[in-house]
Amino acid sequence: MTSDDIDLTGLSILIVDDQPLSIKLMEALLNQKGFKTYSATTGQDALAFLEHTVPDLVMLDVMMPGMTGFEVCQRMRVNDKTADVPVIFVTARDDAETISKCFEAGGSDYAAKPLRIFELLARVKLGLTSSIHKKRAEQSEEALEESQQFLLKIIDENPAQIFVINNESRLLMVNKKFADIFETNPEALIGFTISELIEQSASFESLPALLKRSSLGEDKHSFEMRYTNKDDDHWLLCTRLPFTFHHEECVLGINMDFTDLKKAELEKKRLEEQLGQSQKMEVIGTLAGGIAHDFNNMLAVILGYTDLAKNTLPEGAKQINHLNEVTKAGIRAKDLVKQILNFSRQTEIQHVDISMTMIVKEVVKMVKSTLPSKVTCEVSIDQKTSFVKGDQTQVHQVLMNLCVNANQAMAEGGTLTVSLDNYPVDRNCIECSNALPGSFVHLAVTDTGSGMTEAVKKRIFEPYFTTKDVGKGTGMGLAVVHGIVNQHNGHLCVETELGKGSTFHLFLPASQNILHESIQEDSPIIEGKEKILIVDDEPMVGELVLETLSMQGYEGKLFHDSSEALEEFKQNPNKYDLVLSDYMMPNMTGDKLAMEIRKINKTVPIVLATGFSNNITKEVALSLGITEFLMKPIVGNDLCRAVRECLENAREGSI
């Protein structure tokens, strides 16, 4: 009879566990497989049961009140009736010390909690069949041979790598899983020493660690290790158990592959880090909104008073040129705020026809001023380059990020090259052969830095991936660039070679419109005499608006408190021709003020202005009955035109 013919149906198992739920679960599983089960919740009850009934196997919990599983097993082993009953310890701790105690106490096997069904059944079957074989082996030499073959099969089919090595570092036994590493059969490895295997497996650098053995006489212990075979990483949980066989000191090695579990653990850690980074970016976005509101108010004061100062100077005065530079800087700061809000996804993205030539010139001018002396910058622009349809601020951000990355890649100095031209129609990408149907504008940013490996190249556009030291990079720059390019229906790839630098190729669809850059003259400012109610909690901004409108002939009255402004309007509902209010104010926001005014006067024009807010958009404002919605900072002339337009529209509507 072979081991496969053994019928375990009806064999009895005693389950000893102080947790009734655990007993029920194991009983349900074992009964379903045809086993007969008994149970006890304490060590004392188990020993009492064993006095009159001897089961075929005992599943014994290690940690129980009153008497531990170790003590129960030890008492079983000194009792002739139960000395040979196999015991499988069940433990929540699978460290080397606990497992060693299981075997020292006389255990046949152990199973770690939480129990896995297939493992539990396998260990139960192994325990029972081993016991049966042992009994048969005692009866005859033939039964002993069968038992040995069965155990060898168990070892060979075990998912763990198993080997035995002696004090001469010579392999005495290996199983099939271990032999699979070397793409051979177990018999072919028997008798080889570690040094001999290393000579024959020169490409397998992890072999010494894989065969790492305990010092002779050292207790059983476990450890984790990682090795690479055929460019694939593996993780092993290794157990080493010294023992003596035929007066020869040996070590049993068991390497359990838990690569899938480890990769899942690493992926979980990566996702947790990514979540942490995302939360940081969300905080940055919220902070950006708050900064934008205050900064736009300050810019409104700077730009407004600059305009007022210019208007007080005689024509041709030298100071006007100086003030014009202040205005340019203020407008550039306004665009910078827009970039910050775009980055934090708090503004609406607008795609219009834009000149890549102008963007390249502007970015290169900024970049040159920040480059170290050991880095030079070269530019090549085809003046016939087409326009593209996109968001100017975002495209500006893309080029800026690529230039900053190029500069950082040249720590020892080098050359940064930016080139711009029209790409041939319907030609594939020059680097990755990606299809580019239609007309595209080609922007290339090249550095002569360190370049990248193929592994790094594959991951550079992943969010939070960075090759920089901790604290020196978030891994968001190129991920943001890649996202913006995708939003523009473009294509981005990198051409790189380690030690020879990198080139980022950016392709954006060319606009079908033929555009001509022109200078639009501002329409003349029309003066007025209307009465305007001005509401702004920022004194400097309010005073500026009042003075700007007063210089154009308007009669304004300023309130810094929206509640006081509402009370004034209630007292004089027909006095004011227009209401101009800030949105972000304490006590009552501008939209709430507008709705209260609408209850009193249905026709008075209302202009709402804000530096930034997540809570209101132009569409929402207009739906509330607000006449016009303006984003700060508002240059003086723009404010006057908006006010005049609202007054004229209201007059035409009343005719």
Domains and CATH numbers, the chain: 3-154 (3.40.50.2300), 158-257 (3.30.450.20), 271-343 (1.10.287), 356-509 (3.30.565.10), 531-654 (3.40.50.2300)
For residue 595, what are the CA distances in angstroms to 203, 603, 622? 78, 12, 11
DSSP of 593-610, one letter per residue? Answer: HHHHHHHH-SSS-EEEEE
pLDDT in tens, 104-120: 988 888 888 887 888 88
Q: Give the Cα separation of 212 and 206 in Å (integer).
A: 10
**What is the average per-residue pLDDT within 348-372?**
81
3-state secondary structure of 465: coil
pLDDT in tens, 475-516: 346 777 887 888 888 888 888 888 888 999 998 988 876 544
Q: Give the Cα separation of 105 and 507 in Å (integer).
A: 72
pLDDT at 579 over 90: yes
Maximum mean pLDDT: which of 50-54, 138-142, 308-312:
50-54
3-state secondary structure of 99: helix
pLDDT at 607 over 90: yes
Would you state the pLDDT for residue 117?
Answer: 82
pLDDT in tens, 238-270: 888 888 877 888 888 888 888 888 888 878 887
DSSP of 309-325, one letter per residue? Answer: HHHTSPTT-HHHHHHHH
Would you state the pLDDT for residue 520?
Answer: 43
Confidence of residue 518 (pLDDT cuts 50, 70, 90): very low
Would you state the pLDDT for residue 477?
Answer: 64
Would you state the pLDDT for residue 611?
Answer: 73
pLDDT at 283 over 80: no
pLDDT at 3 over 60: no
Would you state the pLDDT for residue 280?
Answer: 67
The percent of residues in the chain predicted with pLDDT above 70, rounded, is 84
**What is the average per-residue pLDDT within 147-160?**
81
Would you state the pLDDT for residue 365?
Answer: 84
pLDDT in tens, 292-307: 667 777 877 788 788 7
Would you state the pLDDT for residue 653?
Answer: 67
Residue 139 phi/psi, 5-degree rounding, is -90, -30
Of 81, 88, 123, 117, the closest CA to residue 103 belongs to 88
> Chain-wide mean pLDDT for the chain?
81
Would you state the pLDDT for residue 53?
Answer: 92
Would you state the pLDDT for residue 128?
Answer: 87
204-234: string of b/e by CB count within 10 Å (b at 16+)? Answer: bebbeebbbbbeeeeebbbeeeebebeeeeb
Would you state the pLDDT for residue 216?
Answer: 46
Burial (0-12, 13-18, 19+ Cβ within 10 Å), 518: exposed
3-state secondary structure of 234: strand
**What is the average per-residue pLDDT within 376-405?**
86
Maximum mean pLDDT: which of 124-128, 475-479, 612-616:
124-128
Would you state the pLDDT for residue 339?
Answer: 61
User: How far from the centroid of its chain's Cα atoms is residue 29's Cα?
Assistant: 41
Confidence of residue 610 (pLDDT cuts 50, 70, 90): confident
Instruction: Say if residue 114 is preceded by a cis peptide, omega within 30 of 0.
Output: yes
pLDDT at 284 over 50: yes
Residue where the block lists tokens 């001005």: 534
Confidence of residue 474 (pLDDT cuts 50, 70, 90): very low
pLDDT at 521 over 50: no
**What is the average per-residue pLDDT within 67-94?**
89
Q: Give the Cα separation of 303 and 133 in Å (integer).
A: 95
pLDDT at 382 over 70: yes
* Contact criterion met (CB below 8 Å) for 596 and 535: no
Would you state the pLDDT for residue 556?
Answer: 92
DSSP of 569-591, one letter per residue? Answer: HHHSTTT-SEEEEESS-SSS-HH
pLDDT at 329 over 60: yes
Residues pairing with 254 in the sheet: 162, 239
Would you state the pLDDT for residue 294?
Answer: 74
Q: Give the Cα separation of 85 and 128 in Å (integer).
A: 9
Would you state the pLDDT for residue 338?
Answer: 67
Residues pairing with 606 in the sheet: 579
Q: Tell me whether strands 440-447 and 414-423 are parallel, antiparallel or unpaired.
A: antiparallel
Residue where the block lists tokens 């007063």: 550
pLDDT at 288 over 70: no
Confidence of residue 473 (pLDDT cuts 50, 70, 90): very low
For the record, the structure tokens of 319 come out as: 């100071």
> Which of 64-78, 148-162, 525-539 is predicted with the least confidence, judged by mean pLDDT?
148-162
Would you state the pLDDT for residue 152?
Answer: 80
**What is the average per-residue pLDDT within 373-389?**
87
CA angle 452, 453, 456 (to 5 degrees): 80
pLDDT in tens, 159-214: 888 888 888 888 888 888 888 877 788 888 888 887 777 776 654 555 655 665 54
pLDDT at 469 over 60: no
pLDDT at 29 over 50: yes
* Contact criterion met (CB below 8 Å) for 531 and 543: no
Answer positive or negative: Cα dihedral of 432, 433, 436, 439.
positive
DSSP annotation of 347 reads S
**What is the average per-residue pLDDT within 48-61?**
92
pLDDT at 368 over 90: no
Maximum mean pLDDT: which of 224-238, 248-262, 554-568, 626-640:
554-568
**What is the average per-residue pLDDT within 512-530?**
60
Confidence of residue 471 (pLDDT cuts 50, 70, 90): very low
pLDDT at 534 over 90: yes
Residue 257 phi/psi, 5-degree rounding, is -75, 120
Choose between 82 and 514: higher pLDDT.
82
Quote the pTM value.
Answer: 0.42
